[in-house]
């Protein structure tokens, strides 16, 4: 016996502690039909689960056997009923999809509606006072986390922050339900006006706001009773809005903390068995992938699996290479270890065979409906660990560098079995692993899972439905999707170039057919620049200006005079509808460039 008694007892005490395994301490627990065979262990010594025996005594085993039907008395179901059920299922799915679309459209309409004129405050409300503004929307928008934060703050005695967190959870819940739109500058009065269209929610939130503001602005220190009242109102309102998850409703409801049963924690589950392995320092994994490669695995616990020939050959090869395989309740590998099964009652008492010394006097309680047979002349070397009624019960068959350990009854490793007598000691010694080793559990679940989402959809019969959804999504994408409200371009705050403003002004003048006016002003600008460069701070006549330009540019004075006179007469005698003289403008620009450039 190499497993320490102290460590074993500690592991069992933790595994069978109240609240861990539902069947263990709940006197009202009702056994499943598949677990009733474990009631035979109720007469064993050292019962760690007192409620199991009581559950077995509710309907006696004999009475249960007497109620078992002797023949097939099932009522035949007509084929058309399945079609009706299928049609109802599709109608339910369509109704659910329509409901989701309607909810989304309502939420988008609420968020995109224009700000309305604030309604006059009702007498006695007083929610628009500067000092009672609603707090800014919190950074955390998860309702469940906010409620948990409120409870934790209250437990620490921080009642002010606790009430604030509860209030924030209420607002986030209303926002998630599409009842209000959170804004940093809105008050509680604004939110209440939004809720007038939903009188029940309005009433709940108004009571919450009254209590919150009384706690925040009354000047008195908040009390635990005030927090409890606010918290109760908030959770009640969120339940009405169906915002809280099922888990949160259970946690907020002040339940007894009873454990939730799963297959793992049922009487026939393997919760305690896994804890025994982990207590020895092993890593326990439930293998879902098919048996293709066995890497980094030291021990495999094989339950009934109906192995294929290739899988059996793979496991036998792995054992020959040094692996340890524990065959539990399955005959898949009986031929490999040269053992046979005997289905006879061995008395429900087992005897441990100690290979290192005298037999140890331990009290093992087993179902005893199955034992093993080994041939003394077999070429395979065997060792009997446990006997039941003088017959081998747990046998070790040595193959190559490894071994196969045969356990004829899978019930021996169940939670109910390990809770009685010295069964846990037996299993801990037989299924003994080293520290940091990896143990894999292989059973009916191995290889049964889908290897891709496509396989999962095909197995569930949902592939046609998903293909239709994908086709619908493709059609919506081809027509650029469907919006639930008015389309709006993204707002971009960009600095406009000066050239854009010039083009805008030019476009305005062009639409007004005022090109001649623009060209006249531009001609005047060019002539003023010629005067400024040649006769600064002076007022020369047109002939003096033409003489100065001719001297500077070297052009004939007569030509310059003619050009300036044409420009002057065109500006003074501008007639609406006359086209722009582009040649005149280009010549004036050329003179300006020769004189000193256009500024």
d(C-alpha 419, C-alpha 331), whole Å: 26
- pLDDT for 71: 46
The CB density around residue 589, as the number of other CB atoms within 10 Å, is 14
The CB density around residue 111, as the number of other CB atoms within 10 Å, is 12
Task: For the chain, state the CA radius of gyration.
Answer: 45
d(C-alpha 596, C-alpha 507), whole Å: 30
Contact 436, 298 (CB under 8 A): no
How distant, in Å, are the alpha carbons of 163, 185, 219, 482, 484 from that of 130? 20, 11, 16, 42, 36
Which residue, chain included where needed, has tokens 């309502």?
106
Tell me, rounded to whole angstroms, the distance of Cα 173 from its chain centroid.
18
- pLDDT for 120: 39
Angle at 421 between CA 415 and CA 423, to 5 degrees: 55
d(C-alpha 234, C-alpha 153), whole Å: 16
Q: 3 falls in which pLDDT band (50, 70, 90)? A: low
d(C-alpha 342, C-alpha 389), whole Å: 12
- pLDDT for 122: 40
d(C-alpha 591, C-alpha 561), whole Å: 12
Per-residue pLDDT of 336-391, as tens digits, reads: 889 998 888 887 778 877 655 555 556 778 888 888 999 888 889 998 888 888 88
DSSP 300-311: EEE-S----HHH
Contact 441, 301 (CB under 8 A): yes
Q: 128 falls in which pLDDT band (50, 70, 90)? A: very low
* DSSP 8-state class, residue 406: E
The CB density around residue 232, as the number of other CB atoms within 10 Å, is 13
State pTM to two decimals.
0.48
Buried b / exposed e over 271-304, threshold 16 CB at 10 Å, is: bbbbbbbebbebbbeebeeebeebeebbbbbbbe
* Residue 387: strand, helix, or coil: strand
Contact 154, 120 (CB under 8 A): no
Residue 211 is encoded by which pair of tokens? 């209590």
Query: To 10 degrees, the CA torsion angle through 234, 238, 244, 248?
Result: 30
Contact 373, 340 (CB under 8 A): yes
- pLDDT for 404: 93
Which residue, chain included where needed, has tokens 């006097």?
361
- pLDDT for 339: 92
Per-residue pLDDT of 210-228, as tens digits, reads: 888 877 776 777 888 788 8
340 phi, psi to nearest 5 deg: -130, 160
Per-residue pLDDT of 423-470, as tens digits, reads: 888 888 888 887 778 898 888 777 755 556 676 666 667 778 788 888
DSSP 317-365: HHHHTT-EEEEES--TTHHHHTEEEE-S---SEEEE--TTSSPP---EE
d(C-alpha 234, C-alpha 477), whole Å: 41
Q: 491 falls in which pLDDT band (50, 70, 90)? A: low
How distant, in Å, are the alpha carbons of 227, 232, 251, 373 from that of 145? 17, 16, 12, 60
Higher pLDDT, 509 or 455: 509
284 phi, psi to nearest 5 deg: -105, 125
- pLDDT for 77: 58
Which residues are CB-contacts of 291 (< 8 A; sequence separation ≥ 6)? Answer: 307, 311, 314, 315, 442, 446, 447
- pLDDT for 350: 80
The CB density around residue 426, as the number of other CB atoms within 10 Å, is 25
Q: Tell me the percentage of the chain whose pLDDT exceeds 90.
A: 4
Whether 200 shows a pLDDT value over 50: the answer reads yes
Residue 266 is encoded by which pair of tokens? 């049922």
What would the 3-class secondary structure string for 207-258 be?
Answer: HHHHHHHHHHHCCCCCCHHHHHHHHHHHHHHHHHHCCCCHHHHHHHCCCCCC
How distant, in Å, are the alpha carbons of 66, 523, 545, 555, 556 from that of 561? 132, 15, 8, 10, 9
| 138-147, 346-355, 484-493, 546-555: the lowest-pLDDT one | 484-493
Q: 503 falls in which pLDDT band (50, 70, 90)? A: confident
- pLDDT for 464: 82
Whether 70 shows a pLDDT value over 50: the answer reads no
- pLDDT for 65: 46
Q: 83 falls in which pLDDT band (50, 70, 90)? A: confident
- pLDDT for 127: 39
| 189-198, 242-251, 539-548, 550-559: the lowest-pLDDT one | 242-251
Per-residue pLDDT of 264-297, as tens digits, reads: 888 888 888 888 888 888 888 888 788 877 878 8
Show the domains of the chain with their CATH numbers.
20-66 (no CATH), 119-252 (1.20.120), 271-442 (3.40.50), 453-483 (no CATH), 498-595 (no CATH)
- pLDDT for 133: 45
Q: In what order do the strands lie in the sheet with 349-352?
A: 283-286, 438-442, 299-302, 324-328, 402-407, 391-399, 381-388, 349-352, 364-365
Helix axes 557-572, 515-534, angle to 10 degrees: 140
């Amino acid at each position: 016996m190499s497993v320490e008694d102290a460590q074993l007892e500690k592991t069992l005490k933790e595994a069978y502690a109240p609240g861990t395994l539902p069947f263990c301490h709940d006197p009202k627990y009702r056994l499943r039909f598949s677990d009733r065979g474990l009631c035979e262990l109720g007469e064993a010594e050292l019962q760690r689960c007192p409620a199991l025996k009581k559950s077995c005594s509710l309907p006696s085993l004999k009475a249960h056997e007497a109620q078992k039907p002797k023949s097939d008395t099932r009522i035949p179901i007509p084929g058309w009923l399945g079609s009706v059920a299928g049609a109802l299922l599709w109608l339910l799915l369509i109704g659910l999809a329509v409901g989701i679309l309607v909810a989304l459209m309502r939420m988008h309409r609420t968020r995109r509606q224009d700000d309305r004129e604030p309604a006059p405050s009702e007498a006695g409300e007083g929610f628009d006072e500067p000092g009672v503004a609603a707090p800014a929307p919190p950074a955390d928008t998860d309702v469940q986390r906010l409620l948990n934060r409120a409870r934790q703050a209250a437990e620490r005695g921080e009642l002010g922050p606790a009430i604030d967190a509860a209030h924030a959870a209420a607002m986030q819940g209303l926002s998630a339900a599409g009842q209000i739109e959170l804004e940093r500058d809105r008050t509680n009065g604004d939110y209440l006006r939004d809720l007038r269209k939903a009188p029940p929610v309005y009433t709940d939130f108004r009571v919450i706001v009254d209590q919150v503001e009384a706690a925040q602005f009354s000047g008195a220190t908040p009390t635990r009773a005030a927090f409890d009242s606010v918290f109760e109102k908030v959770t009640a309102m969120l339940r009405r809005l169906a915002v809280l998850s099922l888990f949160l409703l259970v946690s907020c409801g002040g339940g007894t903390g009873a454990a939730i049963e799963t297959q793992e924690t049922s009487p026939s589950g393997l919760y305690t068995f896994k804890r025994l392995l982990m207590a020895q320092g092993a890593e326990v994994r439930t293998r879902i992938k098919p048996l293709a490669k066995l890497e980094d695995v030291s021990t495999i616990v094989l339950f009934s699996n109906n192995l294929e020939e290739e899988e059996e050959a793979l496991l036998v090869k792995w054992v020959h290479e040094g692996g340890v395989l524990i065959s539990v309740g399955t005959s898949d590998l009986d031929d490999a270890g040269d053992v046979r099964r005997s289905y006879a009652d061995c008395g429900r008492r087992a005897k441990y065979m100690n290979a290192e010394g005298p037999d140890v006097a331990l009290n093992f309680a087993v179902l005893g409906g199955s034992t093993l047979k080994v041939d003394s002349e077999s070429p395979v070397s065997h060792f009997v660990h446990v006997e039941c009624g003088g017959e081998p019960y747990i046998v070790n068959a040595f193959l190559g560098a490894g071994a196969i350990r045969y356990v004829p009854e899978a019930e021996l490793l169940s939670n109910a079995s390990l809770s009685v007598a010295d069964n846990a000691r037996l299993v801990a010694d037989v299924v003994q692993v080293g520290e940091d080793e990896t143990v894999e559990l292989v059973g009916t679940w191995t290889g049964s899972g889908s290897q891709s989402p496509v396989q999962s959809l095909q197995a569930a019969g949902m592939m046609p439905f998903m293909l239709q959804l994908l086709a619908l999504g493709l059609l919506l994408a081809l027509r650029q999707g469907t919006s639930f409200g008015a389309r709006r371009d993204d707002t971009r705050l960009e600095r406009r170039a000066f050239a854009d403003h010039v083009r805008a002004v030019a476009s305005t003048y062009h639409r007004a057919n005022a090109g001649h006016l623009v060209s006249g002003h531009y001609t005047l600008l060019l002539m003023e620049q010629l005067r400024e460069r040649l006769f600064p701070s002076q007022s020369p006549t047109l002939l003096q200006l033409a003489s100065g330009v001719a001297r500077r540019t070297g052009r004939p004075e007569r030509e310059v005079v003619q050009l300036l006179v044409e420009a002057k007469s065109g500006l003074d005698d501008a007639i609406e509808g006359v086209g722009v003289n582009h040649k005149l403008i280009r010549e004036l620009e050329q003179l300006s460039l020769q004189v000193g450039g256009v500024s």
